[in-house]
Chain A
Amino acid sequence: MRHLLSAADLDAAAAVRVLDVAEEMAATQRREIKKLPTLRGRTVVNLFFEDSTRTRTSFEAAAKRLSADVINFSAKGSSVSKGESLKDTALTLEAMGADAVVVRHGASGAPHRLAHAGWTRGAVVNAGDGTHEHPTQALLDAYTMRKHLRGGTGDLAGVRVVVVGDVLHSRVARSNVLLLHTLGAHVTLVAPPTLLPVGVQAWPCAVSHHLDAALADVAPDAVMMLRVQAERMDAAQGGFFPSAREYSRRYGLGRERLAALGERTIVMHPGPMNRGLEISADAADSARSTIVEQVGNGVAVRMAVLYLLLAGELPGGHA
């Protein structure tokens, strides 16, 4: 593994390997002393062109627990707001000796450009690009499912997952569909037609517009609620749904739908949540909710990704 740009970069064996390493990383995080010397002397740059406190702090914690030096570079108040290009930013970071660049960017494909343009020798990790992908989120979701549904080992063969909500604006949905499919799970996307991207028919998953029917037909092992990304819903593009109330009634996870879920079904949400819109407080705070646990798992999974990208031989084989 040289970079992690897309969930599609991982075949089943590689994905299971990341989850297995994450399992060991999680074990180290239950110790009193959580810091490991593994990446001492390596530099990880968090390059965030979009605000994301939770993903950035998760990567920061992961890198610090492995003793890497962390440089946070956010677009606000930096040279980027003065008009610097991605290329010049990358060259600056290269000059600082970045071994890994964790990048969040509003434009789909920016991490790919960064990885392949030859501007930096560091490993590039996609921490969310536009409406494209967010592979480490998919990995931590898969990790959480595996923990609850498969005892923390192997793949997710036969696991049934329903992903509900704003698929159109969600990079989490795309990465999850790709990774879960790779791991052998069956994914059903549920959303109003206005919140599905063009070409979703080609994704390796089923698509439905009716939540109750999907929950009844699929009998899911995991239900993943997606955030309604109101900030990406430009009023000029027209409404995506008639009203928040109607959305909540048709696609929200409320008390009744929660009660109808199977006994062992888990409820997931990548956060941050819109309580009362896509998920009710009853669902978010229920015993079957893994939402807080997902955050903790995120650190272990990101430690695993940084370990696998940075701990081995340098490309070319010299130490």
Chain B
Amino acid sequence: MSAAQDQAHPPEQGRVLLEGADVQRAVTRIAHELLESNKGADDLVLLGIPRRGVPLARRLARRLGEVEGSHVPAGALDITMYRDDLRRHPTRELSPTELPPGGIDDKVVVLVDDVLYSGRTIRAALDALNDFGRPRVVRLAVLVDRGHRELPIRADHVGKNLPTSSSERVRVLLEELDGRDAVVITPGGTPGGTGGGAR
């Protein structure tokens, strides 16, 4: 999440599971799945969850546009103020929420995040959505599903299923924020080391 954290865990130490074009292929596959299940790009609105869900949503929207030839709006949904664990961490930074101009009422909203883990982030996102409008359908697309759910939540579209131990740490690196695309898994041992959207 922070530069200091990234330095403390250089990605080279971990096992690289997806890299470069693999990530792009996963995004492309999710795009095709979305179009198939939605029967086209009509009414789709992609909302990325900060931080790494946001560039992922933008990419997905771009890919959908290329495949379908129509514009798919993408935005950002900050869920910080809806979290259930605010008291367990130092005060979290807020990120902007940007909803597409058309809003979300009666749209097919696709929440986009990098890693699905406990499911608590998505629970918070559903609460946040509730305050913005009433989508017709809400779906969830994630690049990595690492298991260990703590809530009855599942993803509709998954880039890669990654069985992990809960002591391990899964980090997604993206060109836009980190200079390269990769999914890296590092052994645990960092108490509370669930940054990088891993939780």
Residues of A within 8 A of B (CB): 20-21, 24-25, 27-28, 31-33, 35-38, 66, 307-308, 311-314, 319
Q: Does A24 contact B78, Cβ atoms closer than 8 Å?
A: yes
Alpha-carbon distance A10/B90, docked complex (angstroms): 18
Q: Let me know if B91 is at the binding interface, CB within 8 A.
A: yes
B interface, over-half SS? loop
Provide the residues of chain A in CB contact with B95, threshold 8 Å: 24
A interface, over-half SS? loop
Q: Does A38 contact B132, Cβ atoms closer than 8 Å?
A: no
Q: Does B94 contact A21, Cβ atoms closer than 8 Å?
A: yes
Q: Does A311 contact B92, Cβ atoms closer than 8 Å?
A: yes
Q: Given contacts A21-B94, A27-B97, A38-B81, is CB(A312)–CB(B87) below 8 Å?
A: yes
Q: Does A312 contact B96, Cβ atoms closer than 8 Å?
A: no
Q: Does B89 contact A313, Cβ atoms closer than 8 Å?
A: yes
Additional pairs, 8, CB under 8 Å, beyond known A24-B96, A312-B86: A25-B94, A28-B97, A307-B91, A308-B91, A311-B87, A313-B87, A313-B88, A314-B87
Q: Contact residue range for chain B?
A: 10 to 19
Q: Given contacts A24-B96, A311-B92, is CB(A36)–CB(B81) below 8 Å?
A: yes
Provide the residues of chain A in CB contact with B131, threshold 8 Å: 31, 33, 35-36
A19 CB → nearest B CB, Å = 12
Alpha-carbon distance A314/B90, docked complex (angstroms): 9
A232 CB → nearest B CB, Å = 37
Nearest CB in chain B to that of A37: its residue: B82
Q: Does B89 contact A37, Cβ atoms closer than 8 Å?
A: no
Q: Let me know if B66 is at the binding interface, CB within 8 A.
A: no
Provide the residues of chain A in CB contact with B87, threshold 8 Å: 311-314, 319
Alpha-carbon distance A312/B94, docked complex (angstroms): 12
